Structures are given as structure tokens and as C-alpha cells.
Amino acid sequence: MSTKKGFTTTILHADRLGKPEHGSLHKPIHTSVTYGHEDVQDLVDIFQNKKSGYAYSRQGNPTITALEQKVTQMEHGVSSIAFSTGMAAISATVMALIKGTDHIVASSFLFGNSRSIFQTFIDMGISIDFVDATLVDNVRAAIKENTRMVFVETIANPATQIADLKNIGDLCQEKGILYVVDNTMTSPYLFNPVNVKASLVINSLTKYIGGHGNALGGAVTNAGLFDWANYPNIFPGFKTTVKPENLGMTQIRKKGLRDSGGTLSPEAAHSISVGAETLALRLDRACSNALALAQYFDKHPKVKKVFYPGVESHPQHALAGELFARYGGLMSIELDESIDCLAFLNKLKLVVKSSNLGDTRTLAIPVAQTIFFELGAERRAEMGIPESMIRLSIGIEDLEDLLEDFKTALGE
């Protein structure tokens, strides 16, 4: 009998095989903030990183650990750290591993909030260059002697540009640079960044992994490919008690999670863990719906442009087919100038006007007026975001019902 199981089978039975209390099929919710130890030496060893365990829930909790292990399995990594949100995961990772004298190369198409926090890091003195990451040569040209990190997303939100993931991974490995890949828009079901030599993988657990719009969360996963022993920014005190391969994640947990306090609640961890069990089923349906809708919009006279990797006109259509299992559930459309995008949205009755992504329900939002409003018109234009763009997160509704809703809104 084969020991290797499929994606859903593995995740569905992950908690049970860890033998949780009383034969429970899910890891129970542990709400304790603090943990007592009969032998104080155990507590000392946990603080000094000599053994695993729990001392204070800001750094970890049994329910959260179970989720971290599940994310690690999905990403084919070696360890993960969960956070209260995906933004907390990004912020903590950069704060823990980057110093003011360092340089970062980041995709110019980063999601608005990610771009915002990177601008905050610039204001704090960190040097960051934003480049068109769809071509590795742009990343190569931006690398400096003090470049410590390259940060990209798999599929950009909202204009769906796809980074040159494999070639950037080869470049970062050649240069010994941390390669951080935000996998939120693809999720570990459609893509594993470890396959393009990522050092660290970011996921907003709020989105496809949790999938039901009922819990915030984020995670960073160590792919196990980076040489942490030679990374210059490791806190000296960790080198005496932590194995070399664990230095980076220990620093993120201690200097990022513990010190910044972006702790995931056990209740949210439980909701996300249960939601993850149906990730593959949900995404198969969402991706199928998205492709059908994209093909419908692509032929519609009132839709000026479709931003979706699954349509042949997408600049990285072939690359998406090579990298990802499917094309994802995120798309955007640019309406004809004759249509007011806000009025169009108000005509939608089934589709929810909302700012989230990866929900079971189909969600829509006007991009320039909301999530990218703070960037201003000039920066939006640089990022390929037209003023009439509508971002759609496609859900698992019956396709016929979604088509009917959009047809009505477009005046058919």
C-alpha cells in the first residue's frame, strides 16, 4: 500500500494522525495563555531554545502548532510560523531578518497593503527597489552588494501579472539572497514555491486556505533551501543554542512574532485548520468558474480587458500553464468607458461587494476607489491598474447563477 497520499487525504487526516486528546479528529482549541511546568528546568530550556514546548501563548499554542504543521505539509516545507494576519507575517519576516543597511528588491505589482508596509520600511531607512518582476533581468539589474531579500507574489493582485518565478529563484540561489514568495493567490494546492527554490513562503491564511471569510490568519513557511548558517543578520545568541537550519525561523518567531505580537488566536487557528480540509475541492470549483467567466468577459463588447492568466491574451498565459495546476480564482475586468463601474457593481445581486479574497462566495470591489486609492492615479497607472478596474474573487456558486448575475448587470 502506498504511503504517499493525495493533497486532500493528507490534510483531512493530519490532525487525527497527530493523535490529539481523547481521539478527537481535530486538534482541540487550547485557550490557555500560560503553561506550568513541574520542573523549572523545562521552562528554562524552552526559553533558551534547547527544547520545544510552550511557555507563553504569544509565541505558540498547541492548536496553532497543529495548523502550522498542516501548512508545512501543504507547502512541502520544513516548518511554519502562524500569525494573526498575512500582513503580520510579511511585516514580522522583514523586521526580523532585515537591517537598516540592507537592500530589498520587490515586485512593483505588490498588493496595496504590502506596498504600503514596504513604503513604511523605506521611511524607516531600509532601501527597497520595486521592479517589474515578470522578467528576471529586471530583478538582476536591481541587485546590489547589500541586497538581502527578493520579495515577489505568484499572481499579482489585482492585475494578475505573474513573476518570473523559476528564473528569479535560480538567480537568488546563485547570489545567496533570501527569496520570499507570497503564495496567497495560488495557495499550496495550485503551486508550491519550494519548486522554484523559494527560501520562505508567505500565505494569507484568511484567503483560500481558510476559505470561508470567518477567520484572519497568516503564515511563513521555511522551504528548507536557504543556508541560514551564513546569513549575516542572525542574532548571535541564537547561534549557540539553535541548529543552523533552524536559525531563520527561530529569529522570525522570536524577533518577529514574539516581539511584534502578531499572534494568531487559537479559535482562528481552529477555524482555518478546518477550512483547509476542503481547499482542493473549493479551488477546483472556483478555478472552473473563473475560467468560464473570464472567457465570457473576454468576448463581451462592454468589457474592455480581462485580467486573468487563463485567457490566451494574458502576457504570462503560457507561463501560468507551466507553473500552476490551474489559473486561480482571482480576476479583474476593465469596463468600457461608457459604463460607470460603481453603477455596474450595484446592479449585481448575487455577487457580494466586498474587499476580501478567497471566500466561498464571489466578491467584487472597484479597485481604484478602494484598496488602491491611497497610491494615487500615477502609481496605479505604473502598476497597470485602470480607473474602471473591478476585481473579482470567484467563489463556488453554480456557474449558471453567476453568469446570470453578470449578464443582468451588463444589460443583457
Domain tally, the chain? 2
Domain check: are 15 and 142 in the same one?
A: yes
Peptide bond preceding 366: is omega within 30 degrees of 0, i.e. cis?
no
Q: How far is CA 22 from CA 28, 35, 152, 207, 334, in A?
A: 10, 20, 43, 31, 54
Decide: helix, strand or coil at residue 239: helix
* 305 lies in some domain: yes
**Residue that is last in its domain, among 233, 268, 303:** 268
| Proportion of the chain above pLDDT 70, given as a percent | 100
At 207, the amino acid letter reads K
Instruction: Tell which residue, 252, 249, 111, has the closest CA to residue 183.
Output: 111
Q: How far is CA 56 from CA 29, 33, 34, 36, 360, in A?
A: 16, 6, 5, 10, 34
Residue ranges making up the domain that contains 88: 7-268
pLDDT digits (tens, 9 = 90+) for 266-278: 999 999 999 999 9
Determine the pLDDT at residue 2.
Answer: 61
Return the axis-axis angle of helices 279-298 and 399-409, rounded to nearest 10°.
40
Determine the pLDDT at residue 323.
Answer: 98
- DSSP letters of 275-336? HHTTHHHHHHHHHHHHHHHHHHHHT-TTEEEEE-TTSTTSTTHHHHHHH-SS--SEEEEEE-
Question: Which pTM does this prediction carry?
Answer: 0.95
User: Domain containing 94 — which CATH number?
Assistant: 3.40.640.10
Q: Using the predicted structure, report yes or no on whether residue 241 has a pLDDT greater than 90.
A: no
Say how far residue 372 (Cα) sits from the centre of its chain. Answer: 18
β-pair type (127-131, 103-107): parallel
* 312 lies in some domain: yes
* 274 lies in some domain: no
Instruction: Tell which residue, 338, 384, 385, has the closest CA to residue 366.
Output: 385
Domain check: are 150 and 197 in the same one?
A: yes
* 1 lies in some domain: no
Q: Which helix (H) or strand (E) covers residue 179, if one does?
A: strand 178-182
**Residue that is last in its domain, among 239, 268, 297:** 268
Domain check: are 191 and 323 in the same one?
A: no
At 79, the amino acid letter reads S
Domain check: are 289 and 249 in the same one?
A: no
Domain check: are 263 and 285 in the same one?
A: no
Of 46 and 114, more confident: 114
Determine the pLDDT at residue 49.
Answer: 83
